[in-house]
Structure 1
């Protein structure tokens, strides 16, 4: 590579920001430089190439054909640099494994089981990063993510976690007949549903357990749903893994379980990346989830009433 034929990297970086933001003002704010300095860099590039790269349009800019060509090349080039730098940093053995996950999964599934992970892998440090936004594969500082959905996230290697079978649960004091409670009784009880998960009510109605007249309160978090059920206020639809301990302890009564909603939690790993601790964390997640499914099945078989003779 002959660097003498390549314009100033500062100028190229400045133009890439202008092209990305389609605004000198936003680009200057992004790079923490003055508007005048940014304009000077772009004019220098236009002089070097003897062609216009941008045209002003109102408060923004519009790229010319040459500008779009240069912007595409710079996006690929700077993106490759960013990926390489991130990979080098992520492969450092002395840093914790960064796990991006939803707040509900962190609170109701991972944290109650995290002691077992620490006992099994005391040398693996974790950095938990709760949040609801789906991180992109190029996001720096994230090694693995746990997300709820139907799969199909580009750029990630996906593994479905068997923890999200949906179950309808309620407090024992409202369900003295347990799973044999008549559907008409369930329709008259109060329900608490996830405001972001309309499929919950649709599923319950398809089973004949809710009707148009059934009273339901929409709540914004899984934690509030579980608190309402534990307090004895009514029924809810939640992932089975979040209430497995409550069911085994008799604090909640399971009514119906389904794993065919199409929704699940997925373990998302970046393709072609293997940071320290990833194999151990992924293996523990899958083994723990699978073991609990087997334990729940055994518990259900042991506690089921004996058939009449």
Structure 2
């Protein structure tokens, strides 16, 4: 389609309003323009088609045969446009909110809390996509992601959600070590970390732990790691945001705690506006994080 072969959309829109209302004044009120502007659009169309499209009759306007033909085509075309726009808007409202996040954060932080969101917003479906890599949000249809790092990822917007301290944790009575210097004495002990968690490797580097040398055991997910540590099988490095409930309940003890230094969990979004459901979920995430602070 060559747009140069079609009259201006403003003129066509003005004629559609005129055809529906049968009045220049009524069409002008709908479009929030002057009576003269609608009349000018009508004259432009009649000049383009080289025949009259409407004539004055009493206080109103009556369409000619050509005018009726054009009005029918415009009515059908604009109706199709309106239907398509409405369908897309409705899809944004009702489609699931897709959230990409690290498996450890999903298991330890989000799942114990998300029941409150579901109870408050049963109409919003949240689809969780666990993974350890930062996906292409647009390509993969992801509304927002929760990622661990320093918040510096190109092409996206990132805001802190939980800049948590980290801790070396163990079961009560597993060891009497309580300082970073004494951790060197634990090389004979088993460390546990998850293959699906980038967090623990980052914290390990922060305390100088080389898991290749100290015999770390890899587990499929962080839930298994925490189960092993609770059972007194070894140590692990965890973000405080993930183990705070276990520490409070006495199931784990902290052997050493380190500062976040900008590392933590960030909410990652695209630059364009979020869907209504995603905005609601994002607001809930922020409130939940503030409650923990």
| TM-score between the two structures when normalised by the length of structure 2 | 0.60
> Is 1:200 aligned with 2:208?
no
For 1:155 and 1:164, the matched residues in 2 are separated by 24
Measure how far apart 1:256 and its partner are. Answer: 2.1
Describe the SS at the equivalent of 2:217: strand
For 1:212 and 1:138, the matched residues in 2 are separated by 36
> Is 1:114 aligned with 2:76?
no
Residue 91 of structure 1 contacts residue 274 of structure 1 at CA under 8 Å; is this kept in 2?
Answer: no
For 1:98 and 1:211, the matched residues in 2 are separated by 34
**Ranges in structure 2 where 5+ consecutive residues have no aligned partner:** 6-84
Structure 1 residues 121 and 212: alpha-carbon distance in aligned structure 2, compared to 1, 3 A threshold: closer
Which residue is 2:132 aligned to?
A: 132
Measure how far apart 1:178 and its partner are. Answer: 7.6
Q: Which has the larger radius of gyration?
A: 2
Structure 1 residues 199 and 157: alpha-carbon distance in aligned structure 2, compared to 1, 3 A threshold: closer
**Ranges in structure 1 where 5+ consecutive residues have no aligned partner:** 6-84, 294-309
Residue 147 of structure 2 contacts residue 268 of structure 2 at CA under 8 Å; is this kept in 1?
Answer: yes
Residue 167 of structure 1 contacts residue 238 of structure 1 at CA under 8 Å; is this kept in 2?
Answer: yes
RMSD: 3.5
Matches within 5 A, 1:1-309: 2=2, 88=88, 92-162=92-162, 164-175=164-175, 177=176, 179=178, 183=182, 186-194=186-194, 196=198, 197-205=200-208, 214-219=214-219, 221-293=221-293
Structure 1 residues 181 and 262: alpha-carbon distance in aligned structure 2, compared to 1, 3 A threshold: closer
Residue 193 of structure 1 contacts residue 200 of structure 1 at CA under 8 Å; is this kept in 2?
Answer: no
Residue 97 of structure 1 contacts residue 143 of structure 1 at CA under 8 Å; is this kept in 2?
Answer: yes
For 2:112 and 2:268, the matched residues in 1 are separated by 21
For 1:266 and 1:102, the matched residues in 2 are separated by 11
Q: How many residues align?
A: 210
Measure how far apart 1:174 and its partner are. Answer: 0.7
| TM-score between the two structures when normalised by the length of structure 1 | 0.57
